Structures are given as C-alpha cells and as structure tokens.
C-alpha cells in the first residue's frame, strides 16, 4: 500500500520545483524591457499584464497575459498527464506560486490571475472561458483590471460549488482565490481612495 502511494506521488513531487521555476519566467519584465520600460519601477510597480497594459498598451499587455497563462497551462497539463487531477492542481499551483513569489526576483512577482487561469483551464475549460469574457468586459468598461480580477476570482469557487464538484476541489479553489484576492489588497485600498490607475481604453491611449 505504502509503495503504491509513493509510486503515485513521486512523479508529481519531482515536478513541483520545475513547475515553480516555470512560473518564475519574467514575462512582464521582458516585454516591458523590449519597449524601454522597467515594469518594477514604473506604473504600479507590479510585474503583470495590467501594469504593462497601462505602460505600453493592450497589445503588449495581451502578450504578457498569454505568456503568463501558458505557464499555468503547461504546468497543470503536465500534472494532469502524470498524476491526474491531483497532479494538475499540484503543479498548476506550484506555477502560480512561482509567478507570485519568484525566488529569482526576491519574491517580487505578479498577482497570479493569468497564471491561475491557465492552470485551471486544464480542468475547467468552459468556466475559464466564460470568466475570461466576463473579465475582459469588466476591465474594458470599468477600466480597472483589479475589479475584474477580484470579481472573477471570487466567482470561480462559487461556480464550482454550483457545479457540484467535490468539496476538496472546492476547498482548493477557495484557498487559491483567497491568496489571489489577498495579493490585490493594495489595489483595493487604492480603489477605495480613488487612486487606482486606469487601463487605457484604446491602444493609442497608452503613454
């Protein structure tokens, strides 16, 4: 029995660190640097798609979002292949943590929304697709990516409950949602004070 558990868990355990390191890939920093910006020193200082969008426009922000999304998808997809749904959650979350807390950049990372979405699309493709549309509409209308991100993040575990998923999966999704919302604390404070920077409505509106 013990040997069977070890055999089942070992492949996942061996891939956790590589999945975390995949999550540390500095998508925002590289795209911003190519455009002559330092994403850690400009705008909100957050190395994520939203800050790059504010600095360089929607095309650059979309490039970062896709790259961050793929980090989660690759990790979770590999986890699914070697360890089923458990493996997908384990490696997907490892990539999200790598994005949020990259050891390569003194644990100064992004908010994790795009990477988490990429990880969860492996197990919940239609839910992620629907929330992606909702996020885009909210972000464009309200011009605040943080509001769209928090709303969609909170909605995910609620939709899992409505879909009748196992309580363990719901608990994992709720825990991930709590972490992502907590990463948006500064944004929420700025929103209350009316200081949260807006996203550009059009490409030419970016600085």
Provide the 8-state DSSP code for 205. Answer: G
**In the predicted structure, residue 3 carries a pLDDT above the cut 60:** no
pLDDT, tens only, 79-120: 999 999 999 999 999 999 999 999 988 888 999 999 999 999
Banded pLDDT at 5 (limits 50, 70, 90): very low
**In the predicted structure, residue 146 carries a pLDDT above the cut 80:** yes
**Residue 126 class from Cβ within 10 Å (0-12 exposed, 13-18 middle, 19+ buried)?**
exposed
CB distance 20 to 100 below 8 Å? no
pLDDT, tens only, 164-205: 999 999 999 999 999 999 999 988 898 888 877 777 765 544
Instruction: Give residues with Cβ within 8 angstroms of 24, minimum separation 6.
Output: 98, 99, 102, 103, 104, 105, 109
**In the predicted structure, residue 2 carries a pLDDT above the cut 70:** no
User: What is the average pLDDT across 66-72?
Assistant: 97
Q: What's the whole-model pTM score?
A: 0.90
């Amino acid at each position: 029995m013990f040997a069977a558990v070890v055999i089942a868990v070992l492949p996942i355990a061996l891939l956790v660190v590589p999945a975390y390191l995949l999550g540390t890939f500095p998508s925002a920093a590289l795209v911003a640097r190519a455009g002559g910006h330092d994403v850690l020193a400009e705008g909100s200082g957050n190395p994520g798609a939203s800050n790059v969008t504010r600095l360089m426009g929607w095309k650059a922000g979309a490039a970062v979002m896709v790259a961050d999304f793929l980090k989660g998808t690759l990790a979770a997809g590999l986890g699914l292949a070697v360890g089923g749904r458990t493996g997908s959650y384990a490696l997907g979350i490892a990539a999200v943590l790598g994005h949020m807390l990259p050891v390569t950049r003194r644990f100064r990372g992004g908010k994790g929304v795009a990477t988490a979405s990429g990880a969860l699309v492996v197990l919940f493709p239609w839910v992620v697709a629907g929330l992606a549309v909702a996020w885009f509409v909210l972000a464009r209308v309200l011009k605040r990516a943080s509001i769209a991100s928090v709303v969609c993040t909170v909605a995910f575990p609620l939709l899992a409950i409505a879909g009748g998923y196992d309580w363990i999966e719901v608990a994992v999704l709720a825990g991930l949602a709590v972490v992502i919302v907590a990463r948006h604390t500064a944004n929420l404070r700025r929103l209350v004070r009316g200081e949260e920077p807006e996203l550009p409505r059009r490409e030419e509106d970016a600085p």
